[in-house]
Amino acid sequence: MNTDTSRQTAAEREEGAQLFDRTARDLPTGRHQFHKERMMAQIHETRTEERTTAARVKARWVPRAAVVLPALAAAVAGVVVAGVVVSGGGSGVQDGGGKDVATGPVLTTTVGAATTKGVPQLLDRIALAAAAEDQPAVKPGQYVYIESQTADTFLKTVGDKTTVAGHKLHRRQVWESPDGTKGWLVDPAVNDSPEGETLSLPDEQGNTPEAFLNNPSYDYLAGLTTDPDALLAKIYKETAGHGNSPAQEAFSTIGDLLGESYPPAGLYSALFRTAAKIPGVVVVDDAVDAAGRHGVAVARLDETSGQREEWIFDRKTHVYLGERTVQVKRGTGTDALITPGTVVFTSAVLKRAVVDGIRQTPSQAG
């Protein structure tokens, strides 16, 4: 869903940026763009009762997702919405991140064939593998550490010219306390500083937002039901009106939780059994994550945007490797610039661990 930014006032854009500030900081780049798009669209629809639909760019920035980056300077020269970078007055492109990753090549892939055959069986095997994983609880004072490799593709508009651009593959590191009030992010697509930036609350406006399904803390996830039917009902209820369809939004919400959060052991397994109940889920026999690892994917096509979200698993162990979003069908208007086979978002989870200090990595642990 694209927002028509030409109809938004500066005040609306600033309000969108403020509302988005906390809930964008921990997300991967493409997922950030998606959530910003959704937030701005909600504000726009409330005031104009109009809606435009287009590609739902997830790249989790995306996701996940699951799941958050300081809001880009939407009230200044430009605003990133739905993967489109809009620059005011031709003063330059605001792509919201480090210069060293802002000019990466547009990634492409062969669109793999999808089938509904074997979906329940595959998700059952994945759920069993998830249940068998060693998933230690996160204690107060500890931090969830997630290291990933990610890249994304987006539309860049300067003046009246729109082109396809991308953030090249780069490392991303996130730390978050179990209650979600303390954290740190290192991502050159978000911040030029190699030291990264704080995610700790309260935010710049003095707010401490509560955790919720699309911006969960570990403690929040620990309180969720592990009954697949009840969990799916909760997801449908809390995401009602978002995304291009209830089923696609439910699938994407679960995908966010897989990519950049730390679901407790019981919930982690339940997420896959819940996904098996979403209509339209398919299997893609071969998919590649951002680290170049091949695996089998559980996927779903968003018929509105023409993009297919793929969760990638090791073919033998069924361990989660990462995710990607692939343009499968050509869009309309400027969205047609993102051609079928374009990897809109890709991410590979390299490390997911519990550490004893913020900015500590597993290799530094005693």
Q: What is the pLDDT of residues 125-168, one digit of tens each?
A: 999 999 999 889 999 999 999 999 999 999 999 999 999 999 99
Q: Tokens 């179990």 sit at which residue?
A: 178
Higher pLDDT, 13 or 173: 173
- Greatest distance between any 2 Cα atoms in the chain: 56
Please state, in angstroms and rounded to a whole number, the distance separating the CA atoms of residues 335 and 328.
Answer: 12
Residue with tokens 């069986």: 121
316 φ/ψ sector (left φ>0, alpha ψ -120 to 50, else beta)? alpha
Distance CA 350, CA 140 (A): 24
Assess contact for 243 and 233: CB atoms under 8 A. Answer: no
What does the mean pLDDT of the chain come to? 79
Angle CA(3)–CA(309)–CA(103) in degrees, nearest 5? Answer: 65
Q: Are 238 and 230 in contact (CB under 8 A)?
A: no
- Distance of alpha carbon 286 from the chain centroid: 21
Confidence of residue 203 (pLDDT cuts 50, 70, 90): confident
Whether the ω angle into residue 28 lies within 30 degrees of 0, i.e. cis, is no
DSSP string, 91-120: S----SS-TTTTTPPPPB-----EE-TTHH
**Amino acid present at 44:** H
Check residue 151 and give its pLDDT. Answer: 96
SS3 202: coil
Would you say residue 40 has pLDDT above 60? no
Give, in order, the Cα–Cα distances in Å from 8 to each of 16, 43, 54.
10, 9, 17
What global pTM score does this model have?
0.77
**Are the beta carbons of 354 and 144 closer than 8 angstroms?**
yes
pLDDT value at position 101? 73
Amino acid symbol at 159: G
Q: Residue 43 class from Cβ within 10 Å (0-12 exposed, 13-18 middle, 19+ buried)?
A: middle
How far is residue 134 CA from its own chain's centroid? 25
Residue 214 has pLDDT above 80, yes or no: yes
The pLDDT assigned to 197 comes to 95
Could you tell me where the beta strands, DSSP code E, fall in the chain? 78-81, 84-87, 114-115, 143-158, 161-176, 183-186, 197-198, 282-288, 294-302, 307-313, 320-327, 343-355
Q: Which of 46-55, 137-146, 148-157, 187-196 has the lowest mean pLDDT?
A: 46-55
